[in-house]
Chain A
């Protein structure tokens, strides 16, 4: 159990590529942090700097007040779960789990007790004598988890540990991983590009874009007040609708026509307007404040429907459960109060 401080950390690869830019944040004891962002944004690079698998170009990472920049991976008191599990192919499950403890000079009895306990926790007991090649993907994943847990580290590092599993197993393991982490209380950093994983698992999410941290916050904060257009469109499925518009004499209007209800009255000028697909209602009749909507087609996902159409001439998706008002009946759209996001057109930063 530990807290981690990341102070102005930069990573510049030998070829000059600046992969992580000025990362600066603090992880509380026992917290589950998820690093999320599109492919190539530097998530793994940042995680690998925690592990010591990648040098820190500038800045400092401290685990419990000990700066670990120059500490060997094996001495950092961390454990890592890799995307393809990285199990030792020639060792049995038992040996895979015991190897780290053995090299940390633990006694045979202690190792036996620790491995058996973790094996029981993860239902691995009947598999202890198997080699990794004799296991299913899900079982390998659990062994990789077990190998990390058995070392009782201060910090867990996960690099997309569930991405090789099928959808059903993935959602099971998501819950499993989070439950284990809560029970053990070990501080964790978890990398994923899956926003469902990020939203459901994280205590706090760190959104990365091209090496820069866009926003750090709880899933609720990220969802309710995204700090930038990038965060707004990256988190949420389907993504937030972005429309062009501007403030004119204190009211927020769409470029394509129509007044958007909004609490603040920014300075005159163009802005980007973000509206979540699930924060609007389709209707057949015009009501005060409703905007005209042009229906195009519907994606039916069973429980929910995604209605595609045009609002003020721009593409707009509506996420709805309603059976009644879809199809060409959907002529108007009203926006739920307090759910409009406004961003600077140039910097993409949120304007409150």
Chain B
């Protein structure tokens, strides 16, 4: 890599300013506000606020609703991450054996990733629509009276399916790229050493994919936790009622619908800590990661 040496160290900082400004305005400032707000009780009209210490936090984590949403979020994240990874890996394995190197298929699958979450949600609504949705029809034909937005677990199913469907392509691309970077000769050596295909995958290919898989796991957890907001909002048509929501969605509900700014801030601070932990885990792992050469 070519290194450019600046004579005055100020110039690089000048170049960084726009980026830093954006981060400050859209991230650090709101984050700071959230942390501050989480220690205050604000009246709904914003006229006055009272310092209440950790009350917002204790109220939040002891609230039975919060605990149940947290439990649902945990389950939702686990299920979404598991299925998006597992299905993507399955597809990648199949694709890898069929097309060593063909790019069109990869690009086609990548398109799905270019769809914004709310749009994915809209597709989901069509899919699960009470009157015309094909999924609803299929469910009914096997005796499942599927009602999106009415039955708690039916809504949960729809959320999982749309979220998984949306995430598969990116996982697929990463897995496929990972598989295609396993040297041909290593596969061939395995072919000579090991008569069983599944065993070769398990002992040789998958371990070489492990760094990719771990990276994707973190990405998928983050996705299920945070990026599914748009999907959920559209599927619930903005009216969650007693349908399942995730922690992020609850922050929005409590803050903007419930006007409980203090509680909502406390919740977002908890989520920020969660992101921080995920990031640390990821960086720790990346550092220790074995570089195979």
B is bound to A: yes
A89 at the interface (CB under 8 A from B): yes
Partner of B191, one of A53, A88, A133, A151: A53
- Please, which residues of chain B bring their CB within 8 A of the CB of A87? 186, 189
Structural contact, A82 and B189, CB atoms closer than 8 A: yes
Q: Per-position contact with B for A74-108: 1 when CB-CB < 8 Å, else 0?
A: 11001110111111111000000001100100000
A83 and chain B: residue at smallest CB distance: B185
Interface centre among A72, A73, A84 (most CB of B within 10 A): A73
- Residue B292 at the chain A interface, CB threshold 8 Å: yes
**Which residues of A have CB within 8 Å of B93?**
none
Per the 8 Å Cβ criterion, residues 40-56 of A in contact with B are 51-53
Do A90 and B290 have beta carbons less than 8 Å apart? yes
Closest to A90 in B: B207
**Interface status of A28 (Cβ within 8 A of chain B):** no
Residue A170 lies at the interface, judged by CB distance under 8 Å to chain B: no
Is A86 in contact with B186, judged by CB distance below 8 angstroms? yes
Q: Which residue of chain B lies nearest to A53 when distances are taken between CB atoms in the complex?
A: B188
Alpha-carbon distance between A75 and B192 when the two chains are bound, in angstroms: 8
Choice from A74, A131, A133 contacting B192 with Cβ under 8 Å:
A74
Q: What is the CA–CA distance of A147 and B185 in the complex, to the nearest angstrom? A: 14
Contact B186 A88 (CB under 8 A): yes
Minimum distance in angstroms from A348 CB to a CB of chain B: 35
Which residues of B are found within 8 Å of A103, using beta-carbon distances? 193-196, 199, 203
The distance in angstroms between the C-alpha atoms of A73 and B197, with both chains bound, is: 12
Contact partner of A88 (CB less than 8 A), chosen from B189, B195, B196, B291, is: B189
A207 to B293, CA, bound (A): 35
The smallest C-beta distance from A118 to any residue of chain B, in angstroms, reads 15
Q: Is the CB of A75 within 8 A of B195?
A: yes
Q: How many residues of B are in contact with the other chain, CB < 8 A?
A: 22
The reply on B208 being an interface residue by CB < 8 A is yes
Asked if B183 is an interface residue, CB under 8 A from chain A, the answer is yes
Asked if B191 and A73 sit within 8 Å, CB to CB, the answer is yes
Contacts of B192 in A (CB 8 A): 51-53, 73-74, 78-80, 100
Q: Report the bound CA distance from A178 to B210 in whole Å.
A: 39
Contacts of B196 in A (CB 8 A): 103
For B190, the chain A residues whose CB sits under 8 A away are: 88, 99
| B208 touching A90, Cβ below 8 Å | yes
Nearest chain-A residue to B203 (Cβ)? A99
Residues of B within 8 A of A89 (CB): 186, 208, 292-293
Least CB distance, A90 to chain B, in whole angstroms: 4
Contacts A89-B293, A133-B293 given; indicate if A82 touches B199 (C-beta within 8 A).
Answer: no
- CB pair A74–B290 under 8 Å, yes or no, is no
Residue B204 interfacial (CB < 8 Å): yes
Report the separation of the CA atoms of residues A175 and B208 in the bound assembly, to the nearest whole angstrom. Answer: 35
A99 touches B207 (CB 8 A): no
Please name all residues of chain A whose beta carbon is closer than 8 Å to the beta carbon of B195 when the two chains form the complex. Answer: 72, 74-75, 103
- Contacts of A142-158 to chain B: CB distance below 8 A: 147, 151
Complex CA gap A82/B192 in Å reads 12
Q: Do B194 and A74 have beta carbons less than 8 Å apart?
A: yes
With A90-B208, A100-B194 already in contact, the answer to whether A80 and B291 are too (CB < 8 A) is no
Residues of B within 8 A of A78 (CB): 192
Please give me the residue from chain A that is nearest to B186 by CB atom. A86
Q: Is the beta-carbon distance between B194 and A88 smaller than 8 angstroms?
A: no
> A-B pairs with the 9 shortest C-beta distances?
A86-B185, A89-B292, A100-B193, A74-B195, A86-B189, A103-B194, A90-B207, A73-B192, A82-B185
The chain A residues found within 8 Å of chain B, CB to CB, are 51-53, 72-75, 78-80, 82-90, 99-100, 103, 131, 133, 147, 151
Please, could you name 17 A-B residue pairs with CB atoms under 8 Å apart, sorted by A?
A: A53-B188, A74-B192, A82-B189, A84-B185, A87-B186, A87-B189, A89-B186, A89-B293, A90-B208, A90-B292, A99-B190, A99-B203, A103-B193, A103-B194, A133-B292, A133-B293, A147-B193
